[in-house]
Structure 1
């Protein structure tokens, strides 16, 4: 672990940041995710769907400029000191007496250069009173105190604290943001948005609107869907993201 610390894992910022843990290093809960960051230009590593959903929402936020996952709480000795002060057993590496390097799930840099830290857990991991949940809460207390000493806002967030449907909708549309093939038709984006809004009617399915818009511009349905995804992510189309986005159901536009 000292070698990882010396090599800068879990430290730094922006494109140069490297998470302390990678997907290959630790067991994941559910599906893990390795994704190309839209804000950072680097690869991000997430160990569960709920971590990935929080990442998606942070990427879509206009107030977030940098996202660092699996951020190491250094110096290593400080969390051990906090654990002693709180009379909590510090986590150890399995089958050893070596103190674990503790990490925070997401450290967000905001537009005002401030920080916000999110510890992401499934609600089942922190609700209830069995031994596993109690132990998880103890470790969270160490993390919370670490950031409190630095005057940095820290929150615990579960799937109950976010709109998971919004995150899933954005994840579906996010493919268009990382697809280089769509770059060649980006010149049509402004016209696409205008025509899409003209073709839109409350009862029309998304597929129907995309077909009509694509036909007007001479674009295939797949390309039209990619432009739709980019338009939403770039906030050119006022789509209600809290309603399921699907080709075969109407799409809601939120008019200001």
Structure 2
């Protein structure tokens, strides 16, 4: 339920302000301050596209991190509104749109899809992909099925690939690893050129000493370069984030292992 009653006037105001644009100019239909969340709501600054993303649950956050990591994904629009759903969906006689209205005013709510992604293939062609994120337990509720069926018909009519993602399908360790490395790409007060140069030096060490333990090489790097303790680990994360080295993102990184066993 919204903090304020949902009315036609409020909807028209939101239509002027939200749910439009692409890239850094997109404003999600739902912001975390508008509605209570089923989980921990998060505002996170994008690495690929520099804007604040509003994510309504831990599952949405994990999906966002995985989408952002994927090179083929060039735009992520969260809480995408289906403003033209009544015009687009032709076969709607058996759909219970009446269930989705403000309890106080009775005015119809605007339905949304968790994510609308823009995907670019190897040939440079762009297509859209829609994904709805739900807890598996929510699928037991008839109201959830009603909403998902509306979404399914909407995107099917639009010719857009649409699927539901549940918490049981999300690779949680992968998302955790993305979160662990991505912050090194954000503004941290370190000169970007200096960071890249130091990372290149560490990369040389990783290639040169594959039989040594990762933490030993990172500690030796800190001592040799005269930098604060932990800098080597930070740059290691940076190298992963820039995809200059590869690790198994589905496993936690064990710094006590040999480098050759960590890198892929």
CA contact (8 A) 1:32 1:46 kept: yes
Distance in structure 1 (CA, Å) of the matches to 2:33 and 2:172? 25
Distance in structure 2 (CA, Å) of the matches to 1:48 and 1:58? 15
CA contact (8 A) 1:196 1:209 kept: yes
SS at the partner of 2:164?
Answer: strand
SS at the partner of 1:40?
Answer: coil
In the alignment, is residue 2 of structure 1 matched against residue 15 of structure 2?
Answer: no
Distance in structure 1 (CA, Å) of the matches to 2:133 and 2:228? 39
Q: Where do 1:19-168 residues align within 5 Å?
A: 19-75=28-84, 77-78=86-87, 84-90=92-98, 91-111=100-120, 112-126=125-139, 128=140, 133-168=141-176
2:237 to 229, 236, 240: 229
Structure 1 stretch displaced more, 32-41 or 68-77: 68-77
Distance in structure 2 (CA, Å) of the matches to 1:207 and 1:49? 31
Deviations 1:35-68 (A, max 9, x none): 1111111110101111000000011101000111
Deviation at 1:76, TM superposition (A): 5.7
Which residue in the other structure is 1:214 paired with? 222
Distance in structure 1 (CA, Å) of the matches to 2:217 and 2:55? 35
Deviation at 1:84, TM superposition (A): 3.9
CA contact (8 A) 1:83 1:142 kept: no
Which residue in the other structure is 2:6 paired with? none
Deviation at 1:248, TM superposition (A): 6.4
SS at the partner of 1:157?
Answer: strand
CA contact (8 A) 2:80 2:113 kept: yes
Which residue in the other structure is 2:5 paired with? none
Q: When the two structures are superposed, what TM-score results if normalisation uses the length of structure 1?
A: 0.87
Deviations 1:187-215 (A, max 9, x none): 2222211213434548x3x5444212333
Deviation at 1:26, TM superposition (A): 1.0
1:180 to 153, 163, 188: 188
- Give unmatched runs, 5+ long, in structure 2: 1-10
Deviation at 1:78, TM superposition (A): 3.6
SS at the partner of 2:230?
Answer: helix
CA contact (8 A) 2:138 2:144 kept: yes
SS at the partner of 1:15?
Answer: helix
- Give unmatched runs, 5+ long, in structure 1: none
Q: When the two structures are superposed, what TM-score results if normalisation uses the length of structure 2?
A: 0.84
Distance 1:212 1:103, change over 3 A: same
SS at the partner of 2:224?
Answer: helix
CA contact (8 A) 1:56 1:167 kept: yes
Deviation at 1:97, TM superposition (A): 1.0
CA contact (8 A) 2:222 2:230 kept: no
